[in-house]
Structure 1
């Protein structure tokens, strides 16, 4: 999916899901647009459902979608959990060793690639560090921003054989606390050296012109999480202020709210590729 995006000069949205409603909203929106999608289930959402349950729901929804659907394990620092996801049927995994030393990150990513590739599963890794903004559910206050070094990125990819690399160029997990400062100059140098699909975490709230510029410089996968949550919670609150619905009705409303966010970004990403 990402190789095709890289060749075509567009990006695929990777939308975080936490339950049936989010999965249905993400896949239905993409189905209506006839555009491939990455369903991203984060390690921290294992409290919401098991890996096996996430795979079962995604597989059921995918059957009638008629579009490429990738079930991706997002931001996982635990190798054993990654192996469990591969065993459960996930088609893509992300090992996040960004907090480790360079050599530790390389060593662990190599292990993950060896196992995942043997099972036909693609691997994303991260080099550099993305800080947390407001309302972040993937980062913490102690997270520091460390831009990805293009030369180190080349060495990392050559040594690990990773399929896609998440880079740090100024985006944040959550909502920006000030004006976004996106270093597309760094991204450009990384793309020139690597020539593989690159990943942008922290897509929520990033200006559209910057997202398009990033796509023009090798970004093929853009993660959206916070905006899905914030928009759905806000719309749910407004709806409940004037209605007292049955939970089944509220659940369907939330599917619609999720679709609004997914379509907004998917239309931007797909139009970039013509």
Structure 2
């Protein structure tokens, strides 16, 4: 079933669990995400980053996602990830995305508030929810995200930001990375407690790949309602394709094998984010 992201995350917040948001860029990655969620009987967020607009037809992708979501046995929503340009957000809203992320984290707080508020007003008029970010998630290994500063989220700034913008979800920077860690993760769960106390909206964790399972589960218990996952799935896919390339086969078989290779990786994240007491 195709539902609103806000409805999905409000349910997660009330139920003390989190929803996996998988970055996808092809039919195979989209189908794998939905199949993984159905295996675990949990909701899933399909995320398309602005950086993929050059290789993925946005309108066609939205139509495809909605068609598969309507047949799915679990709730599915469609999210625009890390958009920096207003034009991208307008385009996503027009073709049916249920939520958008405006990333103004590179700006000073006052500018970020002003730009995000404009996007919130635009999106809310169309019934679309908005995610934004305070702080800046750094980039680790194998990531295709823009380089972030790694600045952590200040709880007081987060409160001011949410109060003034009316944003629906907040991405909290607590030490996770886009991509894989190259050293020991230093994730500030105490800071997450402070952010949770400061704001009431659902919180988002960027950088699910490589984050230790126990840390992830603690973060969910402390209020994270959405976890973004990209790189770990990408590595599973490319590792499979490297092996498959040594055994000549039809492209259709290779793509089917890739989908089979990444589905259990996605299912593990979906399972990890469940409420263990539910």
Give the TM-score normalised by the residue count of structure 1.
Answer: 0.96
User: Residue 266 of structure 2: which of 248, 262, 266 is its match?
Assistant: 262
Number of matched residues? 271
2:48 matches 1:30: no
Q: Which sections of structure 1, spanning at least 5 residues, go unmatched?
A: none
Equivalent in the alignment of 1:210: 215
User: Residue 58 of structure 2: which of 51, 58, 66 is its match?
Assistant: 51
C-alpha displacement of 1:239: 2.9
Could you say what secondary structure the match of 2:274 adopts? Answer: helix
Supply the distance in 2 between the matched residues of 1:272 and 1:129 (Cα, whole angstroms).
30
User: Residue 226 of structure 1: which of 212, 226, 231 is its match?
Assistant: 231
Contact 2:100 2:131 survives alignment (8 Å): yes
2:98 matches 1:98: no
Equivalent in the alignment of 1:147: 152
Equivalent in the alignment of 2:186: 181
Equivalent in the alignment of 2:3: none
| The 10-residue stretch of structure 1 (130-139 or 197-206) with the greater mean CA deviation from structure 2 | 130-139
C-alpha displacement of 1:273: 5.6
C-alpha displacement of 1:203: 0.5
Equivalent in the alignment of 1:160: 165
C-alpha displacement of 1:272: 3.6
Supply the distance in 2 between the matched residues of 1:257 and 1:44 (Cα, whole angstroms).
24
Could you say what secondary structure the match of 1:162 adopts? Answer: coil
Alignment of 1:248-259 (within 5 A): 248-259=252-263
Equivalent in the alignment of 2:28: 21
2:195 matches 1:190: yes
Deviations along 1:137-163, whole A, 9 cap, x unmatched? 1133xx311110001100100000100
Give the TM-score normalised by the residue count of structure 2.
Answer: 0.95
Contact 1:173 1:201 survives alignment (8 Å): yes
Supply the distance in 1 between the matched residues of 2:201 and 2:263 (Cα, whole angstroms).
29
Supply the distance in 2 between the matched residues of 1:213 and 1:22 (Cα, whole angstroms).
28
CA RMSD across the alignment = 1.1
C-alpha displacement of 1:45: 0.6
2:165 matches 1:122: no
Could you say what secondary structure the match of 1:125 adopts? Answer: strand
2:250 matches 1:246: yes
Contact 2:16 2:275 survives alignment (8 Å): no
Distance 1:13 1:273, change over 3 A: farther
Supply the distance in 1 between the matched residues of 2:21 and 2:138 (Cα, whole angstroms).
19
Q: Which sections of structure 2, spanning at least 5 residues, go unmatched?
A: 1-7
Alignment of 1:64-79 (within 5 A): 64-79=71-86
C-alpha displacement of 1:271: 4.2
